[in-house]
C-alpha cells in the first residue's frame, strides 16, 4: 500500500481538532483519552467469510459507508475514489434544495489482510469539529464486522456552532444508516 502522505494541491487549512488519528483505526482497542470531544464507538457484525470480507473491505476504502448512507464524496485536487492518507475530500448531504458541504482530510488509513478502514478529520467550514473512522475487520472464525468511532464537538467558529444540538440529532440518524450501509441487501432493512 502506498503511504499516500503527499498532499494533493493546496490544503483547505488546519484540522479543527487535534491530535489527528485519535480514533486509531489500525488498533483493535480504542483508549479514548481526549477531553472536550464526545466519543462514540459501535461495532456490528455485517457478514461472514471471504466473499463478504473482500466486498466490504473494498467498499469501506472507497467511501462506501458514506456513499451508501446518502452522501456524495468528491476528491479535491485529484484525490481519487479510494481513500489516501493526506487527501482532502468534500462530503455533501443534500436535503431537497439544500446541501451541507463538509470539508475533510483523511488522517489515517489501515489496509491489512484482516483490518481495513480509515479516519477523516474535519477542516474549517465543516458543521462539527472532530474525527470519524470506519473500519471493517474479520476474526479468525470468519466473522466480518464494521466499527465506527468518532470524536465530536461543536465547530470552533461560524453559524454551525449555534445549531450544534440539532447536528447531534442528525448525527444519530446517520450513524444508524452507517451501521447498515455495508450489510448485504437482504439484511440491510434489519434494525
Residues 84-113 pLDDT 10s = 999 999 999 888 888 889 999 999 999 999
Backbone angles phi, psi at 128, to 5 degrees: -130, 175
Report pLDDT for 11: 53
In sequence order, which residues have a C-beta less than 8 Å from that of residue 163 and are 6 or more positions away?
A: 127
Per-domain boundaries in the chain: 38-181
Residues 125-153 pLDDT 10s = 999 999 999 999 999 999 999 999 999 99
Residues 133, 171: Cα–Cα separation, whole Å: 14
Q: How confident is the model at residue 82 (pLDDT cuts 50, 70, 90)?
A: very high
Residues 14, 25: Cα–Cα separation, whole Å: 21
Look up the pTM and report it: 0.85
Cβ 175 vs Cβ 148: under 8 Å: yes
Q: Which CATH class name applies to 38-181? A: alpha beta
pLDDT at 191 over 60: no
User: How many of the other CB atoms lie within 10 Å of CB of 33?
Assistant: 7
Give the position of cell 476528491. Answer: 75
CA–CA distance from 120 to each of 52, 144, 162 (Å)? Answer: 24, 22, 23
Amino acid at each position: 500500500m502506498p503511504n499516500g502522505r503527499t498532499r494533493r494541491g493546496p490544503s483547505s487549512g488546519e484540522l479543527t481538532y487535534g491530535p489527528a488519528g485519535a480514533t486509531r483505526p489500525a488498533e483493535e482497542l480504542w483508549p479514548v483519552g481526549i477531553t472536550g470531544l464526545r466519543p462514540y464507538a459501535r461495532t456490528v457484525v455485517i457478514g461472514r467469510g471471504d466473499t463478504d470480507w473482500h466486498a466490504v473491505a473494498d467498499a469501506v476504502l472507497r467511501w462506501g459507508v458514506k456513499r451508501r448512507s446518502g452522501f456524495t464524496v468528491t476528491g479535491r485536487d485529484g484525490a481519487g475514489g479510494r481513500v489516501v492518507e493526506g487527501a482532502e475530500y468534500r462530503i455533501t448531504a443534500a436535503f431537497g434544495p439544500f446541501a451541507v458541504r463538509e470539508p475533510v482530510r483523511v488522517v489515517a488509513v489501515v489496509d491489512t489482510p484482516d483490518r481495513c478502514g480509515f479516519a477523516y478529520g474535519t477542516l474549517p467550514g465543516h458543521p462539527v469539529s472532530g474525527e470519524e473512522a470506519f473500519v471493517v475487520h474479520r476474526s479468525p472464525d470468519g466473522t466480518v464486522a464494521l466499527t465506527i468511532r468518532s470524536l465530536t464537538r461543536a465547530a470552533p467558529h461560524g453559524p454551525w456552532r449555534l445549531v450544534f444540538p440539532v447536528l447531534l440529532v442528525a448525527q444519530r440518524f446517520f450513524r444508524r444508516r452507517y451501521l447498515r450501509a455495508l450489510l448485504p441487501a437482504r439484511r440491510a432493512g434489519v434494525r
